[in-house]
Chain A
Amino acid sequence: MNYIPNILFAIALIIGIGYFANNIRKLFRNIKLGQDVDVSDNTSQRWKNMINIALGQSKMVKRPVSGFLHVIVYVGFIIINIEVLEIIIDGLFGSHRIFSELLPTSVYGFLIASFEILAALVFVSVVIFWIRRNVIKIQRFWKAEMKGWPKSDGNIILYIEMILMALFLVMNATDTAFQSMNSGNVISQFIAPLFSGLPEVTIAVIERSAWWLHILGILGFLNYLYFSKHLHILLAFPNTYYGKVKPKGQLDNLVAVTKEVKMMMDPDADPYAAAPEEDADEIPAKFGASDVQDLNWVQLLNAYTCTECGRCTNECPANITGKKLSPRKIMMDTRDRLEEVGKNIDANKGVFVDDGKQLLDDYITREELWACTSCNACVEACPVSIDPLSIIMDMRRYLVMEQSAAPMELNNMMTNIENNAAPWPYNQMDRLNWKNE
């Protein structure tokens, strides 16, 4: 009978991790729906980016207040999770605070003291985050795309973190053996008196409950990630690695177009020649992107990594001046559509069945796409190297090259370039007239 808690714990652990692993598998599959893209270049720069931007939080602290608070929560979560290792061993083998027996009291006390201080700091930071969202109502958290689930999601994460930190501290405060050790209980010793009037049995029950709720909460939170913007805590690392390493101003050149242009400009090319056989499958189904499968997998990884902080939208000149474009919405729409496509595949035994919808128009409107100035402010602002501009450009490419659906003034501009090699209707022969004016 004594083994029931151990067995229950093992079951909870297997279900928690198993379900999470299953969702991660789905996540990989969905990301792989994107087009292939070569990211084998600049390996050392990529590692540097990951270490600086994700591990080192270099872009987060560009905004000092939220950056500082975020660093606390980030460091707190990483370090406090060492404690989860002890909890898992205790849970599986029925030990109690196994590390306190393995480590010298002073070392164990130092570790727990660090966890407690961090837990308290995380709790305070998370409360400030909540106040920023809900009381101060910082503008970027109240934009049009933040209504409904995204808004609730942001708050749910904060509530879960508050609860987890509180449970950890209560668990320590009600652990009478730990308190009597009087080493490492730097914060919990002040919480312990709250329970001092209660019978010993009740305190023990509270301690066990807090312990169980804490670890079940962590497993629950782990599984919440997939359904939440909070996935960034994992994906920020690969995303900063695979993020753009070229100058921000550089757009990719479409290789398929290069082939055609070269043929057009080759005086020896036979215009009536049939396409060579081996090229048949190299020709892309379409130019640009109208749906998520047309984007590359890094762009899809970008979408899952977005934590909807809105720093991009906050810097976007179009958004600042009241246009519909919001780079954050571009990422959220891409992710939501990708999730929809993923569910479609799940429901249809692994094959995507046309649902009459696409990313363009059903999620992202043309008005949003044409409002972009390609200024890269969103790309610069993103703390995890997301590139919303590349998606906007790929969708413009689809509109122009597949649908000839550019705004009329842009069509005029392009006609001018075709006719006289300038965006305005001036004769190329007059290009040097300024010299004598």
Chain B
Amino acid sequence: MSEQLKVPTMAEYMAEGKQPEVLFWVGCAGSFDDRAKKITKAFVKILNKSNVDFAVLGTEEGCTGDPAKRSGNEFLFQMQAMTNIEVLNAYEITKIVTTCPHCFNTMKNEYPELGGKYEVMHHTQFLKSLLNDGRLTIEGGQFKGKRITFHDPCFLGRGNGVYEAPRDLIRKLDAELVEMKSCKSRGLCCGAGGAQMFKDAEKGDKEINVERTEEAMEIKPEIIAAGCPFCNTMMTDGVKAKDQESKIEVMDIAELIANADDL
């Protein structure tokens, strides 16, 4: 970390009487998980480079409630949702970007009925919009010509119909985008959704992330691109389980773009 990251908080903005153009919702994985923190930082580097006026909630952020809701605990979900909505509304937030498709889905779809109405974007959509507005340039750099496949996060793809933004960004890297046999609306889950991330799988013949990694291996990618911190963990574990670490890297789209630019 040669350069210091600029990560202002909403509290600081409020003290200065300013409003950022967008709130970056970091999420629990992005805040605490060692692997996901790298994604968070890569995304912040891009935001800093593109001079995006953003802020985070920092210690005022709390779990959106997604894993609780999908475990069946509607009480806990709504407690989390209402607490977050109170904070977001107090700061008069209108636009949110997040690197986690679970936070994205929950805030975009399930918060409005509870009083939290915001424009919510996944970071790949946001980066795409920066690109379209000419605020971000993407160059292939070290990824030029590399075979990259994109693993669709369920809550971004099937859950919300976002398939092209992440792929457009990969294409911009001058990489060779290759598709797994089940992709886009038929993309196979990494195995983490529905709160499975936090428990052992039920008895079966195989782990889901291993199945998905095998699908990826069929098309021999050098990089599996992900857009979700949980998919990232699951696919990284899958690659390890198949002893492919020397051949296949698992990277978030934000990391690809930041690394291509040597950020």
Contact check, A428 vs B73: say whether CB atoms are below 8 A apart: no
Known A247-B159, A247-B160, A397-B74; judge A421-B82 contact (CB<8 A). no
* Stretch in A180-188, A217-225, A331-339, A398-406 touching the partner: A398-406
Is residue A322 contacting chain B, with contact meaning CB distance below 8 A?
A: yes
Q: Which of B1-54 contact A (CB under 8 A)?
A: 1, 5, 7, 9, 26, 28, 30-33, 37, 40-41
Cβ-defined partner of A287 (8 Å) among B61, B74, B191, B208: B74
Contact check, B70 vs A253: say whether CB atoms are below 8 A apart: no
Is residue B141 contacting chain A, with contact meaning CB distance below 8 A?
A: no
Known A375-B193, A421-B62; judge A414-B70 contact (CB<8 A). no
A393 to B73, CA, bound (A): 10
Contact check, B204 vs A434: say whether CB atoms are below 8 A apart: no
A405 to B14, CA, bound (A): 43
- Closest approach, in angstroms, between the C-beta of A425 and any C-beta of chain B? 10
A407 to B203, CA, bound (A): 14
* Stretch in A80-88, A89-97, A366-374 touching the partner: A366-374
**A265 partner residues in chain B, CB cutoff 8 A:** 79, 82-83, 86
Residue of B nearest to A424 (CB): B32
What are the interface flags for A403-437 relative to B under an 8 Å C-beta threshold, 1 for contact and 0 otherwise?
00011011011100110011110101111111101
**B194 partner residues in chain A, CB cutoff 8 A:** 372-375
State how many residues of chain A have any CB contact under 8 Å with chain B. Answer: 69
A412 to B199, CA, bound (A): 10
Known A422-B31, A435-B7; judge A371-B72 contact (CB<8 A). no
**A324 partner residues in chain B, CB cutoff 8 A:** 202-203
A418 to B65, CA, bound (A): 10
Is residue A357 contacting chain B, with contact meaning CB distance below 8 A?
A: no
Is residue A24 contacting chain B, with contact meaning CB distance below 8 A?
A: no
Is residue A342 contacting chain B, with contact meaning CB distance below 8 A?
A: no
Contact check, B72 vs A393: say whether CB atoms are below 8 A apart: yes
Contact check, B186 vs A249: say whether CB atoms are below 8 A apart: no
A429 to B9, CA, bound (A): 13
A127 to B114, CA, bound (A): 53
Is residue B67 contacting chain A, with contact meaning CB distance below 8 A?
A: yes
**B182 partner residues in chain A, CB cutoff 8 A:** 315
* Stretch in B105-113, B132-140, B142-150, B251-259 touching the partner: B105-113
Cβ-defined partner of A373 (8 Å) among B59, B63, B191, B210: B191
Is residue B185 contacting chain A, with contact meaning CB distance below 8 A?
A: yes
Residue of B nearest to A425 (CB): B32
Contact check, A320 vs B71: say whether CB atoms are below 8 A apart: no
A417 to B74, CA, bound (A): 13
What are the interface flags for B203-220 relative to A under an 8 Å C-beta threshold, 1 for contact and 0 otherwise?
111111011100000000
Q: Which of B169-226 contact A (CB under 8 A)?
A: 182, 185-186, 188-189, 191-208, 210-212
What are the interface flags for A342-386 relative to B under an 8 Å C-beta threshold, 1 for contact and 0 otherwise?
000000000000000000000000010011111111011100000
**A381 partner residues in chain B, CB cutoff 8 A:** 186
Is residue B130 contacting chain A, with contact meaning CB distance below 8 A?
A: no
Contact check, A406 vs B61: say whether CB atoms are below 8 A apart: no
**A262 partner residues in chain B, CB cutoff 8 A:** 82
Contact check, A370 vs B40: say whether CB atoms are below 8 A apart: no
A61 to B110, CA, bound (A): 32
Known A377-B186, A426-B32, A432-B59; judge A253-B74 contact (CB<8 A). yes
Known A315-B186, A431-B31; judge A375-B204 contact (CB<8 A). no
A262 to B85, CA, bound (A): 12
- Closest approach, in angstroms, between the C-beta of A415 and any C-beta of chain B? 10
Q: Which of B77-112 contact A (CB under 8 A)?
A: 78-80, 82-83, 86, 105, 108-110
Cβ-defined partner of A423 (8 Å) among B63, B158, B161: B63
Interface size class of chain B, counting residues whose CB lies under 8 Å from the partner chain: 35 or more
- Closest approach, in angstroms, between the C-beta of A283 and any C-beta of chain B? 14
A400 to B76, CA, bound (A): 11
Cβ-defined partner of B201 (8 Å) among A323, A377, A422: A323
Known A253-B110, A437-B37; judge A409-B200 contact (CB<8 A). yes
Known A321-B205, A376-B158; judge A414-B73 contact (CB<8 A). yes
- Closest approach, in angstroms, between the C-beta of A31 and any C-beta of chain B? 25
Is residue A135 contacting chain B, with contact meaning CB distance below 8 A?
A: no
A430 to B59, CA, bound (A): 7
Contact check, B193 vs A257: say whether CB atoms are below 8 A apart: no
**A46 partner residues in chain B, CB cutoff 8 A:** none
Known A317-B188, A431-B58; judge A322-B206 contact (CB<8 A). yes
A264 to B200, CA, bound (A): 33
Is residue A248 contacting chain B, with contact meaning CB distance below 8 A?
A: yes
Contact check, B195 vs A248: say whether CB atoms are below 8 A apart: no
- Closest approach, in angstroms, between the C-beta of A189 and any C-beta of chain B? 46
- Closest approach, in angstroms, between the C-beta of A329 and any C-beta of chain B? 14
Contact check, A432 vs B58: say whether CB atoms are below 8 A apart: yes
**A287 partner residues in chain B, CB cutoff 8 A:** 74
Contact check, A373 vs B154: say whether CB atoms are below 8 A apart: yes
Contact check, B202 vs A260: say whether CB atoms are below 8 A apart: no
- Closest approach, in angstroms, between the C-beta of A151 and any C-beta of chain B? 23
- Closest approach, in angstroms, between the C-beta of B206 and any C-beta of chain A? 4
A433 to B32, CA, bound (A): 8
Is residue A246 contacting chain B, with contact meaning CB distance below 8 A?
A: yes
Contact check, B71 vs A249: say whether CB atoms are below 8 A apart: no
A421 to B63, CA, bound (A): 5
Contact check, A401 vs B72: say whether CB atoms are below 8 A apart: yes
Is residue A214 contacting chain B, with contact meaning CB distance below 8 A?
A: no
Contact check, B69 vs A251: say whether CB atoms are below 8 A apart: yes
What are the interface flags for A251-263 relative to B under an 8 Å C-beta threshold, 1 for contact and 0 otherwise?
1011001101110
25 pairs of residues in contact across A and B, judged by CB atoms under 8 Å: A251-B69, A251-B70, A261-B82, A262-B82, A265-B79, A265-B82, A317-B188, A322-B206, A374-B195, A376-B159, A380-B158, A396-B71, A398-B72, A400-B73, A401-B74, A409-B198, A409-B200, A414-B68, A414-B73, A418-B76, A423-B63, A430-B31, A431-B58, A432-B9, A433-B31
Which B residues form the contact surface with A (CB < 8 A)?
Answer: 1, 5, 7, 9, 26, 28, 30-33, 37, 40-41, 56, 58-59, 61-63, 65, 67-76, 78-80, 82-83, 86, 105, 108-110, 113-114, 154-155, 158-161, 182, 185-186, 188-189, 191-208, 210-212
16 more A-B residue pairs beyond the given contacts A317-B212, A401-B73, A422-B28, with a C-beta to C-beta distance below 8 A: A247-B108, A247-B160, A250-B105, A253-B114, A321-B210, A373-B194, A375-B193, A397-B73, A407-B199, A410-B198, A412-B198, A413-B71, A422-B63, A426-B32, A432-B59, A434-B30
